[in-house]
Amino acid sequence: DSILLTLSNAKKIGPQDHPRLYNIVEEMKIASGLEYMPSIYIIDDPALNAFATGRDPKKAAVAITTGLLNKLNRDELQGVIAHEIAHIKNRDVLLMAMTSVLLGTIVILAWYGSRIMLFGGAGRSRNSRNSGGGGAQAIIMLVAILLAILAPILAQFIYFAISRKREYLADASSALYTRYPEGLASALEKLGQSTGQLKSANKATAPMYIVNPFREKGVKFSDLSSTHPPLTERIKILRKMGGGASFTSYEEAYKQVHKGGGTLPGVSGLTSAGAVPNTRPASRADDPDEAQRIRETTNALWKVNNYRTIDCECGATIKLPPGYSGKTVSCPRCNRKHEV
């Protein structure tokens, strides 16, 4: 878990670094019934994305890119955070890790089995030529070759299918926690319009993110070969939930979009939820516009990167990097000199 955060160049923040983000994570932690508060990280990247990590909820973390913080309003950000909290609550990180290990083991066993069949069959075929058993040995060798080729492909498809189901489930959980499916739907819409790709992502970590970090605008990945369901489909399901926000409402919308086919895995606390109304949050005066959100995120990055600040009398704030060694600094607005 810590390796992924390190590879992503994620910076841990506290409640004073980005109060709005911390407050939203805390709200969703309470709404989900999660026992422990996850650590919060910011990734300095303009791409719009987020992920959760932590096989153990005690050591879980949520990471959000600066691009996401800058673009999403409070309701949208709440929907994304709720989605990531759901991954922690539903133990998806642990599940996908176990699935990966299990499928990897199957592939290795298939590889060794195919080698035994291939080379063992080749040795026996020399002895069986005189007795007319060469045809059977040829079939065994063909099966061995097919097994070696198909096992990794099938394992990948199974992994992708499980990953997609867990994404649907996290969307359903987000709707339940926030009581407002449109928040996540609107956020996913913005993510779908973004063309930025996360620099620190790789194929191994792609399933961890709320959207595929390698997607391109207008490109629709095959359902079978993608770790995430199509964004348009996820948005459509959330917006077909009508006046409900429960797991049952989501499942009904899911079946409508899939024309009656397919089911979602049940999770305790979701399947038992009764009627949950879809409630639009009241407008908040403290919800900042995009310019304010950018300043808020930039200030948080300065804090976690140990920048020093000097408030000038003209109202400007001077930021000094950790390595600044000068004794004085001039205000860029009024040229007033300040001692460091």
Q: Is 84 a catalytic residue?
A: yes
Burial 8-17 (b: 16+ CB within 10 A, else e): bebbebeeeb
Is the separation of the CB atoms in 276 and 244 below 8 Å? yes
Calpha distance 13→11 (Å, rounded):
6
Is the separation of the CB atoms in 43 and 200 below 8 Å? yes
HEC readout, the chain: CHHHHHHCCEEEECCCCCHHHHHHHHHHHHHHCCCCCCEEEEECCCCCCEEEECCCHHHCEEEEEHHHHHHCCHHHHHHHHHHHHHHHHCCHHHHHHHHHHHHHHHHHHHHHHHHHHHHHHHHHHHHHCCCCCHHHHHHHHHHHHHHHHHHHHHHHHHHHHHHHHHHHHHHHHHHHHHCCHHHHHHHHHHHHHCCCCCCCCCCCCHHHECCCCCCCCCCCCCHHHCCCCCHHHHHHHHHCCCCECCHHHHHHHHHHHCCCCCCCCCCCCCCCCCCCECCCCCCCCCCCCHHHHHHHHHHHHHHHCCCEEEECCCCCEEEECCCCCCCEEECCCCCCEEEC
Calpha distance 153→212 (Å, rounded):
20
- Catalytic position from the list 27, 35, 84, 252: 84
Calpha distance 154→152 (Å, rounded):
6
Catalytic amino acids?
84
